[in-house]
Amino acid sequence: MRIRAVSLAGLLAVATVSQGPAVAADGPMTVKIGVLSDLSGPFSDFAGRGSIIGTQMAVDDCLKAECNGMQIEVIAADHQNKPDVALSIARKWVDTEGVNVIGDVVVASIQLAVQSLARERQSFTVLFPGGVNALTNEDCSPNTSVQWMWDTYSQVAGAVKPLAKQGTSWFFLAADYAFGHSLQKDGTEIINAQGAKVVGSVRHPFQEHDFSSFLLKAQASGANYVAFANAGPYAVASIRQATEFGLWQGGQKAVALFLTLQDVKALGLKSAGGTQLTESFYWNYDDRTRSWSARYAEHWPDRRMPSISHAGAYSATYHYLKAVVASKSVDPKVVTSKMRELPIADDIVRNATLRPDGRLVHDTYLLQVKMPNESTSDWDVYNVLKVIPGSEAFKPMSESACPALKGRG
């Protein structure tokens, strides 16, 4: 993979270019992909450079097959976790640089802002590897975007449904922004529906590092389960401090609503061992995921394994490119329609279909972090407790609040 640094509104940007020979007298069909991510902040391990790698792998694989003869360019920029910065980059890409599709787009406020821009312009497509449930519900834009690997509902449903038995009690420790709110809301609805009870909650500021006062409230609640509705280094810090605080010695149990492979590595199995969570991709699930992940790891000196965002960037990008080839168009409405028509089969997702609301439905996994003596290699961190069919993992479309499905947008 070739990488070069360029200037983009004073921000870090990287770009890779792959192209094949012309297929027509007037030149090859071209596609320009922008990866808009956190390249330097708290979610850079989860997304960041790894998502650029996943995207470029999809381009390279497609150029060897369906995309042979096309010209495809991948550029990337750091949104710095600021919606105004992200929108400035997105507008420049679309208005002056000819970007056809924007991918990755981590952080809820940025996702919602970019989705709004795509719905307004109707001139580019957005590929979300994951994000808040609103992206395919009340804020949906199915003609311009898709949500691929996970959403806040699927993260909660996989982890909470098996445990929220009638009579159990729950306490939420949630991040105080859209992502944490969505996890808490979806979790509360599931808990109440199953006859369990939420006995308390507390919200911490974004980028909080000291969770002692919040953990005291969780302990005082006496809840059977403490649900961590946060992400990235804040999920890592809060769970680590809960372990150091001795929260689990009294019989309370941790349920992580968004803990990723990279987070578990940062925590260490000694702190995270036994924690239950949901992920929609695990590198060590089967031979196909192991084979793809080994190829991904070749791009890192330390041979690191991919996150769900990295794998999702590959899967969503490759399927998008297949749809461009099949439809001979980069028009968002045409391409997203073709994405729904084409069968979805790769090394990342299983039993996948793309719904009219833009939500990819596929198998997800209920996982438990291994204890230190169970792990056999550096990245071997999960036991797969259960495969959750997409029909159970994702909110049914019959319950969707997507206005486009009701003819209102």
Shared domain for 325 and 369, answered yes or no, is: no
Cα–Cα distance list, 187 to 132, 195, 402, 406 (Å): 13, 13, 20, 26
Residue 195 inside a domain? The answer is yes
End-to-end CA distance of the chain: 41
Mean pLDDT of 333-357: 97
Q: How many alpha carbons fall within 13 Å on the CB side of residue 124? A: 25
Shared domain for 41 and 136, answered yes or no, is: yes
Closest C-alpha among 136, 95, 85, 106 to residue 35: 106
Shared domain for 259 and 321, answered yes or no, is: no
Total domains present in the chain: 2
Percent of the chain with pLDDT over 70: 93
- Whether the per-residue pLDDT at 19 is higher than 70: the answer is no
Residue-level pLDDT at 404: 87
Phi/psi of residue 228, nearest 5 degrees:
-95, 105
- Residue 26's pLDDT band (cuts 50, 70, 90): low
Mean pLDDT of the chain: 91
Residue 15 inside a domain? The answer is yes
Shared domain for 372 and 247, answered yes or no, is: yes
Residue 406 inside a domain? The answer is no
Residue-level pLDDT at 407: 59
Residue 267 inside a domain? The answer is yes
Shared domain for 56 and 78, answered yes or no, is: yes
Shared domain for 263 and 387, answered yes or no, is: yes
Name the DSSP letter for residue 256.
E
Q: Is 329 exposed, middle or buried (0-12, 13-18, 19+ CB in 10 A)?
A: middle
Tokens at 264, concatenated: 């578990």
Residue-level pLDDT at 20: 34
Residue-level pLDDT at 194: 94
Phi/psi of residue 99, nearest 5 degrees:
-70, 130
Look up the domain containing 371 and give its range: 154-279+363-393
Percent of the chain with pLDDT over 90: 86
Shared domain for 159 and 255, answered yes or no, is: yes
Phi/psi of residue 286, nearest 5 degrees:
-155, -175
Closest C-alpha among 200, 231, 233 to residue 215: 200
Q: Count CB-CB contacts under 10 A for residue 177.
A: 16
We report the CATH number of the domain holding residue 96 as 3.40.50.2300
CA–CA separation, 118 vs 261, rounded Å?
Answer: 31
Tokens at 283, concatenated: 């590198």
Residue 405 inside a domain? The answer is no
Residue-level pLDDT at 127: 97
Non-local CB neighbours of 379 within 8 Å, separated by 6+ positions: 261, 265, 283, 284, 304, 305
Residue-level pLDDT at 264: 95
- Whether the per-residue pLDDT at 151 is higher than 70: the answer is yes
CA–CA separation, 91 vs 56, rounded Å?
Answer: 22
β-pairing, 253-256 vs 225-229, is parallel
Residue-level pLDDT at 11: 30
Residue 408 inside a domain? The answer is no
What sign has the CA pseudo-torsion 388, 257, 279, 271? negative
Residue 13: beta bridge partners? 6, 77
- Whether the per-residue pLDDT at 13 is higher than 70: the answer is no
In 3-state terms, the chain is what percent helix, strand and coil (to 5)?
Answer: 40, 20, 35
- Residue 8's pLDDT band (cuts 50, 70, 90): very low
Shared domain for 261 and 385, answered yes or no, is: yes
Shared domain for 16 and 109, answered yes or no, is: yes
State pLDDT tens for residues 158-196: 999 989 999 999 999 999 998 999 999 999 999 999 999
Residue 254: beta bridge partners? 226
- Whether the per-residue pLDDT at 3 is higher than 90: the answer is no
Residue 57 inside a domain? The answer is yes
Q: Which helix (H) or strand (E) holds 175?
A: strand 169-175
Shared domain for 252 and 384, answered yes or no, is: yes
Shared domain for 78 and 121, answered yes or no, is: yes
CA–CA separation, 72 vs 389, rounded Å?
Answer: 34
Bigger pLDDT: 349 vs 108: 349
Tokens at 169, concatenated: 């009690």
Shared domain for 181 and 248, answered yes or no, is: yes
Residue-level pLDDT at 37: 97
- Whether the per-residue pLDDT at 337 is higher than 60: the answer is yes
Residue 147: beta bridge partners? 128, 359
State pLDDT tens for residues 263-306: 999 999 998 998 889 999 999 999 999 999 999 999 999 999 99
Residue 403 inside a domain? The answer is no
